[in-house]
Amino acid sequence: MHASLEQVREQIVDLLPRLRRFARTLARDPHDADDLVQIAVERALARSEQLRPDSRLSSWMFGILRNAWIDEARTRGRRNQIFAPEALGENVGDAASETHTDVLSVQDAMARLPDEQRVAIGLVLVEGLSYKEAAEIMGVPVGTLTSRLARGREALQAMLADTTGAAQ
Amino acid sequence: MKFSEETLMAYADNELDAKTRTAVEEAMATDPEVARRVAQHKALRGKVRLAFDNVTDEPVPQRLIDAARGVPAVRREGNVIPLRRKAPPPRAWPQWASIAASLVVGVIVGQAMLRGSGSDLVTSRGGQLLANSVLSHALSEQLASTQTDQSAVRVGVSFKSKAGTYCRTFTAHESTTLAGLACRDHDDWRVQVLAQTTSTPENNTAYRQAGSALPKSVLQAVDDNISGEPLDAAAESAAREKNWNP
């Protein structure tokens, strides 16, 4: 049975914190990330009849958000990269604790990954989805997801090598 | 037994079937190198997760909740102010206008501002004017004391409003000079008033910084909204630390 549009709206409201988090793994600038969420929400509501009763709203929304990100990245170029270095530089200067520096460097490293690796890392490592769910959202076989994940991890590991080494 | 990096990664992600998982665990017990690699995958997973985890604790911007609930009902991307419109012929301003030619929001959005690059500064959402990326970024990050003359947007006076939110005046120099007042609303900067002046930055640097350089409509909005004194440099910096949350 179909959920009513009102029910879908409220379920999307409940999902907003996770959608914002996922968007933040994709777009480095928080405002850009929220813009992405807004676009995804509006697109989802415009075609809510496509939501099948047996599919998970969260997966559907993550998929729309991911597609919106890929579209944005292709058509508008990397607006976030214009703003990222300055914002990062300021925060690094303010960071008193080592933990703070760590967190920032992860976000900076994420912003350097190719788009699809970023999506894979965001879905599996940050959102905690299974390989199967993540692969479905990205519309690729599990093997493709696994290799993107592995390459993304390897790149992150290399970029974060210093801080990881110091922490262990 | 040798395990591929992908298998060890899948172990860290809890994606292996029971049999392979057991085999990896046996290898971890006997081979420190396998144990080290697994630990590395787990550590990276935890680290990445931690880096983004606090996002879910942040208050969700009202505009996103409104978008999900459809408030107002009609709001699609088409409603955002178009960035390019047919440019009307350049307009010669009379001399007197350079002193304080100011127009309030409705007029300017309707007529003058949308045609030029000035419209990059604001976005109309649900009948409200919000600062977009460039302006929003400047309002969130720039301090009046440290900004450079090269900044596209200059922040003027910052103060706390009677409603308890932070507000800041700004000027942006493009083909024309736009000045306005924006107040923090959750994660957005809501533009309260926006006016156009013809004073150019080349004329007089001090003129740009002085409060009197702001158009009358902006000054009036400041007077109407301000509670107490404008923020000094330390208070401005402290407010930025709090991300302009009251």
Task: Kindly state the helix (H) or strand (E) to which residue B181 belongs, with its residue range.
Answer: strand B177-185
Residues A160, A163, A167, B4, Cα dihedral to 10°: 20
**Whether B15 and A131 lie within 8 Å, measured CB to CB:** yes
ipTM above 0.85, yes or no: no
Same domain, residue pair B44 and B81: no
Task: Identify the weakest region by mean pLDDT among A9-23, B88-102, B193-207, B222-236.
Answer: B88-102
Q: Is the pLDDT of residue A93 over 90?
A: no
Closest approach of chain B CAs to the CA of A1, in angstroms? 21
- Put simply, whether the predicted model's pTM sits higher than 0.90 gets the answer no
The 10s digit of each residue's pLDDT in B181-221 is: 899 988 889 888 887 765 544 444 443 344 446 777 788 78
Task: Return the SS3 of B180.
Answer: strand
Q: Which of chain A's residues have a Cβ under 8 Å away from the Cβ of B241?
A: 94
Return the residue of A nearest to B44 by Cα. Answer: A157
Same domain, residue pair B209 and B111: yes
Q: Is the pLDDT of residue B161 over 50?
A: yes
Domain containing residue A38: CATH number: 1.20.140.160
Q: Is A48 near chain B, with CB under 8 Å?
A: no
Residue type, A17: P
CA–CA distance from B31 to each of A150, B1, B28, B35 (Å)?
A: 22, 10, 5, 7
The 10s digit of each residue's pLDDT in A8-27 is: 999 999 999 999 999 999 99
Q: Which of chain B's residues have a Cβ under 8 Å away from the Cβ of A110?
A: 48, 51
Cβ(A92)–Cβ(A166) under 8 Å? no
Q: Is the pLDDT of residue B108 over 70?
A: no
**Whether B10 and A146 lie within 8 Å, measured CB to CB:** yes
Domain count, chain A: 1
What Rg value do the Cα atoms of chain B yield, rounded?
26
Q: Which domain holds residue B120?
A: 77-241
Same domain, residue pair B144 and B226: yes
- In whole angstroms, what is the distance from residue A111 CA to residue A80 CA? 9
Q: Which among B13, B37, B56, B36 is positioned nearest to A125, based on CA atoms? A: B13
Q: Is A14 near chain B, with CB under 8 Å?
A: no
The 10s digit of each residue's pLDDT in B43-73 is: 999 999 999 999 999 999 999 999 999 875 3
Domain count, chain B: 2
The 10s digit of each residue's pLDDT in A111-125 is: 999 999 999 999 999
Pairing of strands B153-160, B128-131: unpaired
Closest approach of chain A CAs to the CA of B50, in angstroms? 7
Instruction: Return the percentage of chain B with pLDDT > 90, whole number.
Output: 33
Closest approach of chain B CAs to the CA of A95, in angstroms? 11
Cβ(A138)–Cβ(A119) under 8 Å? yes
Pick A140 or A49 by higher pLDDT. Answer: A140
**Whether B15 and A130 lie within 8 Å, measured CB to CB:** yes
Going by C-beta distance under 8 Å and a sequence separation of 6 or more, which residues neighbour residue B145? Answer: B233, B236, B237
In a domain? residue B61: no
- DSSP state letters, B122-179: EEEETTEEEE-HHHHHHHHH--TTT--TT-SEEEEEEEEBTTS-EEEEEEEESSSEEE
Under DSSP, the state recorded for B192 is E
Under DSSP, the state recorded for A123 is I
Cβ(B193)–Cβ(B105) under 8 Å? yes
Query: Taking all residues of chain B, what is their mean pLDDT, rounded to a whole number?
Result: 75
Closest approach of chain A CAs to the CA of B96, in angstroms? 38
Going by C-beta distance under 8 Å and a sequence separation of 6 or more, which residues neighbour residue A6? Answer: none
What pLDDT was estimated at residue B146? 80
Task: Identify the weakest region by mean pLDDT among A108-122, B72-86, B221-235.
Answer: B72-86
- In whole angstroms, what is the distance from residue B44 CA to residue B40 CA? 6
**Whether A29 and B10 lie within 8 Å, measured CB to CB:** no
Q: Which domain holds residue A78?
A: 5-167
Tokens 């005046």 found at: B169
Return the residue of A nearest to B71 by Cα. Answer: A9
Same domain, residue pair B52 and B104: no
Omega within 30 of 0 (cis) for the link into B72: yes
Where helices occur in chain B by DSSP H, the ranges are: 5-12, 18-30, 32-53, 62-69, 97-100, 105-107, 133-141, 205-209, 216-225, 233-241
Structure tokens at A143: 């093997």
Task: Identify the weakest region by mean pLDDT among A49-63, A84-98, B130-144, B191-205.
Answer: A84-98
- Substitution target from A35, A148, A153 for chain B, most B beta carbons within 10 A: A153
Q: Is the pLDDT of residue B113 over 70?
A: no
Structure tokens at B197: 């002046």
The closest CB to that of B51, out of A107, A124, A130, belongs to A107
The closest CB to that of B56, out of A17, A86, A164, belongs to A17
In a domain? residue B155: yes
Same domain, residue pair B27 and B134: no
Return the number of other C-beta atoms located less than 10 Å from residue B109's C-beta: 18
Return the number of other C-beta atoms located less than 10 Å from residue B39's C-beta: 14
- In whole angstroms, what is the distance from residue B186 CA to residue B183 CA? 10
- In whole angstroms, what is the distance from residue B50 CA to residue B29 CA? 28
Q: Is the pLDDT of residue B244 over 50?
A: yes
- In whole angstroms, what is the distance from residue B172 CA to residue B179 CA? 6
Q: How far, in whole angstroms, is CA A119 from its chain's centroid? A: 6
Q: Give residue B37's pLDDT band: very low, low, confident or very high (50, 70, 90).
A: very high
Same domain, residue pair B143 and B223: yes
- In whole angstroms, what is the distance from residue B93 CA to residue B193 CA? 21
In a domain? residue B72: no
In a domain? residue B92: yes
**Whether A17 and B141 lie within 8 Å, measured CB to CB:** no
Same domain, residue pair B32 and B140: no
What pLDDT was estimated at residue A168? 38
Q: Is A93 near chain B, with CB under 8 Å?
A: no
Same domain, residue pair B85 and B33: no
